[in-house]
Structure 1
Amino acid sequence: MTTAPDTQALAEAVTAAAADLLPSVTPLQLGPVQPGSPHVAAAFAGGAVAELDGGVPGVVAVLVGKELVDALASSPIGELEVAAAVQPAIDAAALRLGAHARTARALDLADDAFDITAELGGEFVTVPLIGMGIAAAVLIPLATAEGAREPIDPAAAPVAEEPSPALAALAASEPSEPFVPAFGAAALPPRGLELLHGVDMEVTVELGRTRMTVRDLLALTPGAVLELDRAAGSPADLLVNGRLVARGEVVVVDEDFGLRVTEIVDAAAAS
């Protein structure tokens, strides 16, 4: 399979948009656009795929390396989902295609029966993203690229000013070779929490809870008052992705509600 110039430029533009929102310690550079290989999944530890809406057919997938997967699994606020971590990147890629991404779902790359070509619905292109090693890759089906609503000017494709040695090595390789980088080929410094600095979190402030029967729930009308399981003046809970991490008092800041944190809850108490 050869990659047409228009498809290559589109793939580069889509991947550049995704790269800005992928969790990474160092800026990610684009590797060369390569024909999709069924072996590509073996080079990564996790990933996610999302279907597209808005008149553009197919899906977009992002694969990530072991470092990020391990960092998400050992997060201090509990294990985080790979699909949620890469959703902003997939959303950005979809917008560059002139579409909207649905909620991403995780790919089970460790499953012996996993078939990336079948998952993407046919032939695809792969664009690796390189930081301190090959950190991720964006996979775009050819049918999706052909159905994109926004044609890409090849002259506008992003070009790295000073390619890293790893990027130069990839560029020098034969296009027909399958993209199967080995994570053990180079010793990288151990990293953990800093990889999560770019991961979006859902933060919720909870005033209290109550339990109701379906009958009482259906009987609610404007003006009804619900009694919560917390006394007036008690601190509110701060939850991150549903996990209690802090408590504080509700304040008003420029006519908006806010929370002044008064207590950080340790991991043992939160669990």
Structure 2
Amino acid sequence: MSTTSLERPAVEAATAAARALVELVPTAAPLTPVLGGDAVSPALAAQAVLAAHVGATSADLALVLLDRASLAGAAESGPVDVTDVLRPALEAAGATTGVGVLGEVTLGDATDLVQDAASVVLALTDADGSTAGWFVLRTRRPLRTPADETVTDSRLARISNVEMRLSVIVGHTRMAVRDVLNLEPGAVVELDRSAGAPADVQLNGRTIAKGEVVVVDGGDYGVRVTKILDADD
């Protein structure tokens, strides 16, 4: 696919997304996005990490890495899945296109996405200029300017029936993969907030509210929403 046939806003959006992505991809050496680099072979495209960003500007994303095993020590064989490792990077990439949420991150075939004339493909090169992978972005609707344009009610209506994952987070921590793999029954993992602090209510990984964990009828856990967050929170 010739890069000259791509619209400038699409190229700029893909470049910004790729730059945000490489900041969070945990490779041994930093990666640099390059437009018009080596092409993606069908065999490699069939082993991509895929995600979709739904929002003001919906987009399909794909990441192909030549050395996926380098992301985390035992990500392929242990409890840490490569999709979990790459989700923060893909969320950062999707967020550059505007307000929205990232759907499920999966492993799959990105051949159709790579070959689509509307897709922008950027090679990801390492320190010596060798290709280490590719990032693909295809926006599903024309990009609007300015980039931070507020999502209107009519736009939200287009995605109102899309099902999203709602989660309640009582805390976070960061651990090395080796420490995760060494966890045993009875181990205590310290979180980043005190007992009684409000929990985060997240929509596909994006915090939208604060709440209290409660027990509802039947003994199931629930959350009582105490605060709805503004876009700036």
**Under a length normalisation based on structure 1, what TM-score does the superposition of the two structures give?**
0.47
2:107 aligned partner:
107
Residue 42 of structure 1 deviates from its aligned partner by: 2.8
Gaps of 5+ in 1: 109-113, 153-201, 205-238, 258-271
Residue 60 of structure 1 deviates from its aligned partner by: 1.6
CA contact (8 A) 1:97 1:150 kept: no
Residue 119 of structure 1 deviates from its aligned partner by: 8.4
CA distance in 1: counterparts of 2:189 and 2:7, whole angstroms: 57
Post-superposition CA distance 1:221-267 (Å, at most 9, x none): xxxxxxxxxxxxxxxxxx948x73585568899x836xxxxxxxxxx
Are the structure 2 counterparts of residues 122 and 44 from structure 1 closer, same or farther at C-alpha, using a change threshold of 3 Å? closer
Partner amino acid for 2:50? V
1:53 aligned partner:
54
Gaps of 5+ in 2: 149-171, 196-233
Map 1:24-39 to 2 at 5 A: 24-33=27-36, 39=40
Are the structure 2 counterparts of residues 75 and 54 from structure 1 closer, same or farther at C-alpha, using a change threshold of 3 Å? closer
CA distance in 2: counterparts of 1:49 and 1:76, whole angstroms: 16
CA distance in 2: counterparts of 1:41 and 1:34, whole angstroms: 16
Residues 1:16 and 2:11 aligned together: no
Residue 115 of structure 1 deviates from its aligned partner by: 5.5
2:123 aligned partner:
128
Post-superposition CA distance 1:127-179 (Å, at most 9, x none): 111125322321111535x3366549xxxxxxxxxxxxxxxxxxxxxxxxxxx
Residue 74 of structure 1 deviates from its aligned partner by: 3.4
Residue 99 of structure 1 deviates from its aligned partner by: 3.5
Are the structure 2 counterparts of residues 29 and 240 from structure 1 closer, same or farther at C-alpha, using a change threshold of 3 Å? same
CA distance in 2: counterparts of 1:70 and 1:90, whole angstroms: 17
Are the structure 2 counterparts of residues 69 and 52 from structure 1 closer, same or farther at C-alpha, using a change threshold of 3 Å? same
Are the structure 2 counterparts of residues 87 and 76 from structure 1 closer, same or farther at C-alpha, using a change threshold of 3 Å? closer
CA distance in 2: counterparts of 1:137 and 1:24, whole angstroms: 13
CA distance in 2: counterparts of 1:252 and 1:106, whole angstroms: 27
2:194 aligned partner:
256
Residue 8 of structure 1 deviates from its aligned partner by: 2.0
SS across alignment from 2:61: strand
Percent of residue pairs bearing the same amino acid type: 16
Are the structure 2 counterparts of residues 57 and 97 from structure 1 closer, same or farther at C-alpha, using a change threshold of 3 Å? same
Are the structure 2 counterparts of residues 27 and 101 from structure 1 closer, same or farther at C-alpha, using a change threshold of 3 Å? same
CA distance in 2: counterparts of 1:131 and 1:122, whole angstroms: 26
Are the structure 2 counterparts of residues 60 and 76 from structure 1 closer, same or farther at C-alpha, using a change threshold of 3 Å? closer
SS across alignment from 2:27: coil
CA distance in 1: counterparts of 2:96 and 2:17, whole angstroms: 6
Residues 1:139 and 2:136 aligned together: yes
2:82 aligned partner:
82
CA distance in 1: counterparts of 2:137 and 2:76, whole angstroms: 33
CA contact (8 A) 1:52 1:58 kept: yes
1:64 aligned partner:
65
Are the structure 2 counterparts of residues 61 and 83 from structure 1 closer, same or farther at C-alpha, using a change threshold of 3 Å? same
Determine which structure has greater relative contact order: mean sequence separation of CA pairs < 8 Å that are 6+ residues apart, divided by chain length.
1
Larger Rg: 1
SS across alignment from 1:12: helix
CA distance in 2: counterparts of 1:249 and 1:86, whole angstroms: 26
SS across alignment from 2:83: helix
CA distance in 1: counterparts of 2:14 and 2:190, whole angstroms: 47
Q: CA RMSD in A?
A: 4.1
